[in-house]
């Protein structure tokens, strides 16, 4: 099976580097599926989930808060603002952030603060969705076997 090189970094650390057979990422125009020999493109990543598929290994799931992705036929580079594995998500903290953002919106936050509050709400919702879907509980244990 053909592979494509993925170099995935966030602002503060190298996230993943290796050969993969598919990358699914949240592009500005919707979900993107990247396979080897994909046409070149550059896109903005929106907050969401990046899925990395490797032959003969478990898929990797990451929550990103946005960033950029460059695709070439033989290499993909992801530059994410932040990137977390599901097991790194503090579900209690994400739930508290969601509740704070919803409360600020319900109380009628000042207009100039709305974009930041809405982005915080979206980030916390994505973190909760991915963390829960991938089997992680608020106490840090998993509902799935390793």
pLDDT digits (tens, 9 = 90+) for 97-121: 999 999 999 998 899 999 889 988 9
Same domain, 14 and 40: yes
Same domain, 95 and 66: no
Same domain, 40 and 96: no
Same domain, 52 and 78: yes
Q: For the chain, give the mean pLDDT.
A: 89
Alpha carbon of residue 78 to chain centroid: 11
Closest residue by Cα to residue 66 from 54, 77, 82, 52: 82
Same domain, 23 and 66: yes
Same domain, 15 and 38: yes
Same domain, 77 and 94: no
Count of domains observed in the chain: 2
Give percent above pLDDT 90 in the chain. 68
pLDDT digits (tens, 9 = 90+) for 53-98: 999 999 999 999 999 999 999 999 999 999 998 888 888 888 999 9
Q: Is residue 40 part of a domain?
A: yes
pLDDT digits (tens, 9 = 90+) for 63-72: 999 999 999 9
Same domain, 10 and 74: yes
Cα separation of 9 and 11, whole Å? 7
Residue 131 has pLDDT above 90, yes or no: no
In this structure, the number of other CB atoms found within 10 A of the CB of residue 105 comes to 15
Contact 61, 131 (CB under 8 A): no
Same domain, 59 and 96: no
- Residue bearing tokens 């020999």: 37
**Per-residue confidence (pLDDT) for residue 109, from 0 to 100:** 85
**Per-residue confidence (pLDDT) for residue 146, from 0 to 100:** 38
Same domain, 109 and 47: no
Same domain, 119 and 61: no
Same domain, 80 and 95: no
Long-range contacts of 15-20 (CB under 8 A, 24+ apart): 15/62, 15/78, 15/80, 15/83, 16/52, 16/60, 16/62, 18/54, 19/54, 20/52, 20/53, 20/54
Q: Is residue 138 part of a domain?
A: no
Q: Is residue 125 part of a domain?
A: yes
Residue 15 has pLDDT above 90, yes or no: yes
Q: Is residue 122 part of a domain?
A: yes
Q: Is residue 146 part of a domain?
A: no
Structural domain of 98: 89-133
């Amino acid at each position: 099976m053909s592979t494509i090189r993925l170099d995935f970094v966030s602002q503060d650390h190298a996230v993943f580097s290796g050969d993969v057979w598919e990358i699914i990422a949240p592009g500005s125009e919707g979900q993107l599926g990247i396979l080897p020999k994909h046409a070149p493109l550059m896109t903005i990543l929106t907050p969401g989930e990046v899925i990395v598929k490797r032959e003969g290994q478990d898929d990797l799931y990451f929550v990103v808060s946005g960033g950029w992705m460059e695709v070439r036929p033989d290499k993909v580079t992801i530059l994410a603002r932040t990137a977390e594995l599901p097991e790194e998500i503090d579900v209690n903290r994400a739930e508290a952030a969601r509740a704070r953002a919803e409360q600020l919106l319900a109380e009628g936050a000042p207009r100039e603060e709305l974009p930041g509050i809405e982005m915080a709400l979206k980030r916390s919702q994505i973190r909760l969705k991915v963390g829960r879907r991938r089997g992680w509980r608020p106490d840090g244990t998993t509902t799935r076997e390793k």
